[in-house]
Structure 1
Amino acid sequence: MSSTTPPVLALPEASAGLSERLTEGLARVEELIIESTRHEDGFISEASTHLARAGGKRFRPMLTLLVSELGEGISEQVVAAAAGVELTHLASLYHDDVMDVAELRRGAPSANAQYGNSTAILVGDLLFGTASDIIADLGADAVKIQAQTFIRLCSGQIRDDRPCPEGQDPGEYYRGVLADKTGVLVATAARYGAMFGGCPPETVAMATEYGERLGVAFQLADDLIDIASDSDETGKTPGTDLREGKRTLPVLNVLASADPADRELQELLRSDLREDSRLERALELLRAHPGMAAAREETLAVGRRAIEALAPLPDGDAKQALVALMDSVVHRVG
């Protein structure tokens, strides 16, 4: 597998005009995020903007802006919706890093490493509230969607932190977790873009379906990157999921194998991988295992289904860019 991780927002199919509008729109989103997280208490301001200033791909707000181009394009409402989605995402990262005992995020110290667990949790809560405050100005429908998104997001995180219940298929359980913990917020990002871009209901429905599948593909790719890449590329510690005992798709593929040659790796994956030498050995074996290729193929298949959701839409700049975005997401793994 290649060690290069292409930029997630590489959109070679976007015209110069569309690229310029997206760049300008994203700058407005950034301004709104910084303005909304400014606080009279200097420490709260610093902690609230810690991850936002560390950078990131801005994948979700860019999607909101891009989908709006299927309709009337970027407006103040679209910018506000995009900022609300990104703040919701940032809030979840503060909580994720506490749960994962992470040390790095986006190449910088994680919020919990920088400020401690209690502050990281509370700042995450503050950002959820800030996102809701922004979305509240967009109307009752947007508030309802935000609430339903938040419920699914938290449900997915709770289930992700627990083992698959006895009697349930581990693969299906895992896919359901992905749909809730990642797919739903990406779906909402696309849905808001279509709604506030003035698209008809059928386009809103197509964009929402595309968004959820895009989100699942994004998380599948992210899980592969956690195994395949190093911290210099991703800004995160490799093997975090393994260290925390999370069974992502490549791990599930290995554990389902009946090949005696997989016994060492299976035993490692069922053991405590917080010890660096054991983790490194597990990563070495897992990177070369056919289960990685199978997981990569499933990622590509989910991406194809996302593109199929857009098939009824007429061809145009925005549709081409959405197809290119999906291609960029799934090929982050190699």
Structure 2
Amino acid sequence: MVKKYFYMIGNAHIDPVWLWNWNEGLEVVLETFRNALKLMEKNSRYKFTASSTIFYKWVKELDKNLFNKIREKVFEDRWYIAGGWIVEPDCNIPCGESFVRHSLYGQRFLLENFGKICEIGYNIDSFGHNWMLPQILSKSGIKYYIFMRPKPDEKTLPENIFWWESPDGSRVLAYRIPISYTLTGERIGRAIEELDEKSSRDYVMLFYGRGDHGGGPVEEDLKIIERYGERVRMSIPIEFFKKILEKYNDIPVVRDDLQHHARGCYSSHSKIKYLNRLSEATAIYSEIFATISKILLDEKYPKKTFREIWLNILFNQFHDILAGTSIWEAYEDVIAS
């Protein structure tokens, strides 16, 4: 049996809202990011990946010192900011303009604060992915896409790595995470050994670290990875994708939606879905009339106000909010906002 090469992605999936309110999610973000930096100080080979530009906006506003330390690690290629969007949203319900605004405001924040945009779309916990996304992603500077759902028993794909192509021909190189994005402890070793046998490619990307309520990897996880030697390396996703493109020219193409997972969520909490569509339409038409007023009457265009309105809409499109899978107390906050 030929041993595979593993790109191990230290991560901490964070649901800012789910079985808790957003204020608890905020504290989880701060604590998780601080823990990631502490682990980097203890192990010079450790690298960390986290998505959602709203998290970094919170950090910048609440703990400037923490934000500056993260910037240093980003410039060292030890911390990768994935996604390029405000949050990891539901990828079926929002209108097309909302996905564009996720990219617009998310990528702009990264460019202004880190000097570069993100190249990797990242919706690892969303329940499905509509077919227009490769077009929006590629036109937003994103070349790659990482997801986990639907799983193999829900959607048959030629393999975990493939070109995902929209009807207009736009494409991104997509990767379905095998097994889980929350591998920890000895589960890491078992996953490596399993994919040594099952993977159709010589290069595999695995995700490890405690998630949902944050946390991330711990020292024990790194020790387990290090016992496998050089073929199992701590990494960031961009290194894996570049290796795949360097080694392979026979990657299959998928021209389809990536569906379905947890279908029942699309009929849950219908009021939240109604408010989302109402908010989207109101924001879009308000911008149109504000533009007309600017052109015809020279009225001041409320650019900052519209940005804040959109950021609120986009945050509330987080997959566990919009899909209707959070606790009721969380929806009281959403309705109030």
TM-score range, shorter chain: under 0.3
Relative to its length, the structure with more strand (as a share) is: 2
Question: If the length of structure 1 is used for normalisation, what is the TM-score?
Answer: 0.26
Question: If the length of structure 2 is used for normalisation, what is the TM-score?
Answer: 0.25
